[in-house]
A and B are shown apart, each in its own frame.
Chain A
Amino acid sequence: MEPLISVRNLKKYFDVGEGMLKAVDGISFDIYPGETFGLVGESGCGKSTAGRTIIRLYDPTDGELIFNGKNIYDLSRKEMQEVRKNFQMIFQDPYASLNPRMTVEEIVGEPFDIHDIYKDKKEKKKRIMELLQLVGLSDEHAMRFPHEFSGGQRQRIGIARSLALNPKFIVCDEPISALDVSIQAQVVNLLKELQEKLGLTYLFIAHDLSMVRYISDRVGVMYLGQMMELADSEELYENPIHPYTRALLSAIPIPDPEIQKDRKRIVLQGDVPSPINPKEACRFVDRCPYAIEICHKQVPEFREVKPKHFAACHRALEI
């Protein structure tokens, strides 16, 4: 199968005065049509920047993004406008991503106004109501303002907006991390249902590994701007190779007191180091319990350790 999207050596640096903040430092992966690609990592690992650069909200420092056989970073503003309709984004904070002065109807209808799609007001309204129903809201909500809704309802409004232009690919940037657990399932189920109904492809960015495992077909693990490991989600969770992935998995509390009490966990020491001017070494070396000399000197290559299972670790085969 041909990938829908191919990310090649994507880089995004920010000049922060005291040096280069290498938020995304050369990541490559493919996303296939109809799949959900999970991107996980701790805060500051660059996963959100990667998502935003992929849909070109940020201009990349370097790299390619192939969509429909074209590198979309080469497109002009005008050509980009058309491609934009295929790419959408669902934001993390349902409180910040909806303009407080607009009604729900105006918010969901904004994409139509931007692209001037409906000449007929009635038709536009009909389509807006369809979208609201798709996410489980009704016309009684249309005239209300965002602050009158709960977090989960707001996120559903955001999803309705992102579906307006019939996109093929949606970047979900931590869409559930600001929500209550009971509501998270609601939104995840909705996303899954919409994927089946509309044939959507997702890039699902999150720090909640159990949720990512649940929703994704393949998962990539990022640390300090680089991809540490990438595999089918079952494979990644059952046979993690990279020491960072292992630590990450063991840190997740399991909601079962019996299991949780006997669990052995790897508690990583220290915090994620600063992504400003990182040194030429394995990014994880300072916290890695397996680090040896070479890890301090050389950035490990991101390679296929097992079929369809990639990792960037010098000791991938030994540990």
Chain B
Amino acid sequence: MENLLEVKNLAVSFKTFFGEVEAVRNISFSVKDSQTVAIVGESGCGKSVTANSIMQLLPMPPAFFKGGEIWFEGENLLKKTDKEMQKIRGNKMSMIFQDPMTSLNPTIRVGKQIVEGLIHHHGISKQEAEEKALEMLRLVSVPQPEKRIKQYPHEFSGGMRQRVMIALAMVSDPKLIIADEPTTALDVTVQAQILELMREIQKERGMSIILITHDLGIVAEMSDKVVVMYAGQIIEEGNTKEIFENTKHPYTAKLLKSVPRLDMDKNEPLHSIEGTPPDLYIPPLGCPFYDRCDKAMKICKDNMPDEENHSPTHKSRCWLNHPLAKDQERRSS
């Protein structure tokens, strides 16, 4: 399968009063056709910055690219002009946000918002566009689309609004959808509806999805591949099964153990990750997880671990992978 999207050594920083904050530090990953890639991590780990870098929606300044390439369909997006990006955005790739209310215009009827995008990107007639808009609302299972199309966003419930957002994102049959916490603002029963809808549409249209979330349950349900970010770096990456069953990085392991599961024993203690991620205005010299890791070794403090491949799809960045660490473990046990 071909790589639809390839991020290579991307580095993004923000200029602030305190100095430079290195939000994304040299990350690389790829997304294949029809693949769902989940990016997980705590707030401030750089997952949203990564998504916004791909869409080039970062406010510049204060943000700026320090380096790297973003290859999408054989073209480097970072070399594109604003005008060229406008053609790609909302057309070949589109985004679904956490809060649909902020991305829908409250003063324009829902139907018109969809129609405008269509006319703008595809230059089709108004009538064709209106038919297509109806079709899109049907695709996302909005009941009574003929009536709904004439309504304003505030007349929709949260779940319905998110459906409209998905319709808007799907309108031009994009190759890639970036969903930034698409269900975080929704209730569980509505979340279940939206996730099911996204899966169905993907099956039908075959687009790739980058799913940004902190809910590991959603990751397990939706994704083929998982990218775990911490302090602006990718610390582990692999297909979903590898990440959940053959966890290599202590952070991923702790993250998995920190959520209570419906099927777990109630008396099991909940593993918490003490403290707070490092402030990236002074990024730590060594492993960024050092301050919160139970397995930290002397080397971790000031030396950045290298990337280690565990399988063709699975890699992690941790000193525990080093032969000397394994040796140490063997001797002590």
| A–B: direct contact at CB < 8 Å | yes
Query: What residues of chain A have their CB less than 8 Å away from a CB belonging to chain B?
Result: 42-43, 136, 150-153, 180-186, 188-189, 207, 209-211, 213-214, 233-234, 237, 247-261, 265, 267-269, 271-272
Q: Is residue B58 within 8 Å, beta carbon to beta carbon, of the partner chain?
A: no
Chain B contacts of A213 at CB under 8 A?
260, 262, 266
Chain B contacts of A42 at CB under 8 A?
187-190
Query: What residues of chain B have their CB less than 8 Å away from a CB belonging to chain A?
Result: 42-44, 157-160, 187-193, 195-196, 214-221, 240-241, 244, 254-256, 258-263, 266, 269-274, 276-277
Chain A contacts of B271 at CB under 8 A?
185
Please determine whether B221 and A185 come into contact, CB atoms closer than 8 angstroms: no
CA distance A299 to B190 in the complex (A): 25
Chain B contacts of A265 at CB under 8 A?
192
Please determine whether B262 and A252 come into contact, CB atoms closer than 8 angstroms: yes
7 nearest A-B pairs in the assembled complex, by CB-CB distance: A253-B217, A185-B272, A214-B260, A255-B216, A42-B187, A185-B258, A251-B192
Please determine whether A185 and B259 come into contact, CB atoms closer than 8 angstroms: yes
Please determine whether A271 and B190 come into contact, CB atoms closer than 8 angstroms: yes
Please determine whether A253 and B218 come into contact, CB atoms closer than 8 angstroms: yes
22 A-B Cβ contacts within 8 A? A43-B187, A136-B274, A150-B277, A152-B276, A181-B259, A182-B42, A182-B258, A185-B271, A189-B269, A207-B187, A210-B261, A210-B262, A211-B260, A213-B266, A252-B217, A253-B217, A253-B220, A254-B261, A255-B256, A256-B261, A260-B217, A271-B190
Please determine whether B220 and A260 come into contact, CB atoms closer than 8 angstroms: yes
A-B contact count (CB 8 A): 130
- Of chain B, the residue at the smallest CB distance from A40 is B188
Given A42-B188, A248-B188, A272-B187, also A254-B215 (CB < 8 A): no
Please determine whether B220 and A234 come into contact, CB atoms closer than 8 angstroms: no
Please determine whether A181 and B192 come into contact, CB atoms closer than 8 angstroms: no
Given A42-B188, A183-B42, A257-B244, also A271-B255 (CB < 8 A): no
Residue among A184, A251, A255 with most chain B CB within 10 A:
A255
Given A214-B260, A253-B217, A256-B244, also A247-B273 (CB < 8 A): no
Chain A contacts of B159 at CB under 8 A?
271
- Of chain B, the residue at the smallest CB distance from A253 is B217
Residue among A185, A186, A188 with most chain B CB within 10 A:
A185
Shortest distance from the beta carbon of B36 to any chain A beta carbon, whole Å: 12
Chain A contacts of B196 at CB under 8 A?
267
CA distance A249 to B192 in the complex (A): 11
Chain B contacts of A260 at CB under 8 A?
217, 220-221
CA distance A260 to B42 in the complex (A): 23
Shortest distance from the beta carbon of A216 to any chain B beta carbon, whole Å: 9
In addition to A42-B190, A249-B262, 16 A-B residue pairs with Cβ atoms within 8 Å of each other are A150-B277, A181-B259, A185-B273, A188-B270, A188-B272, A189-B270, A209-B262, A247-B189, A252-B217, A253-B217, A253-B221, A254-B220, A254-B262, A255-B219, A258-B241, A272-B187
Please determine whether A234 and B255 come into contact, CB atoms closer than 8 angstroms: no
Given A186-B274, A213-B266, A254-B220, also A181-B240 (CB < 8 A): no
Please determine whether A255 and B261 come into contact, CB atoms closer than 8 angstroms: yes
Please determine whether B273 and A186 come into contact, CB atoms closer than 8 angstroms: yes
Residue among B157, B262, B263, B269 with most chain A CB within 10 A:
B262
